[in-house]
Amino acid sequence: MFTTSNVTRMKKLSAALLGVVIVSTALSSAATPAFALGDCGPNGHRGPWGHCRWGGQNEAWCLRHTGHVAMPGPDGTRWCIR
């Protein structure tokens, strides 16, 4: 039914497929944090659904532009209120 060469071939194929899954998972998880921060401006961040939101994460920007530090927001976030 199953010869030794068939079993060896299936083990090699399984190992190769597992390697592809591990590499693709690592690449996608490494790209996500950088992508989440991009193109939202100097004091912007991405919300839970991936849309840009103004303010919130850059307290130094808030201090430079408004003269006061960011105010505490929900869930431990900071909001820069003008």
Q: Is the pLDDT at 67 greater than 90, yes or no?
A: no
List, for residues 7-55, the tens digit of each pLDDT value.
888 999 999 999 999 988 877 666 555 555 556 766 677 776 777 777 6
**pLDDT recorded at residue 64:** 82
- Mean pLDDT within 58-67: 78
How many Å apart are CA 82 and CA 65, to the nearest integer? Answer: 9
Q: Which residues, including other chains, have CB under 8 Å from residue 11's CB and lie 6 or more apart?
A: none
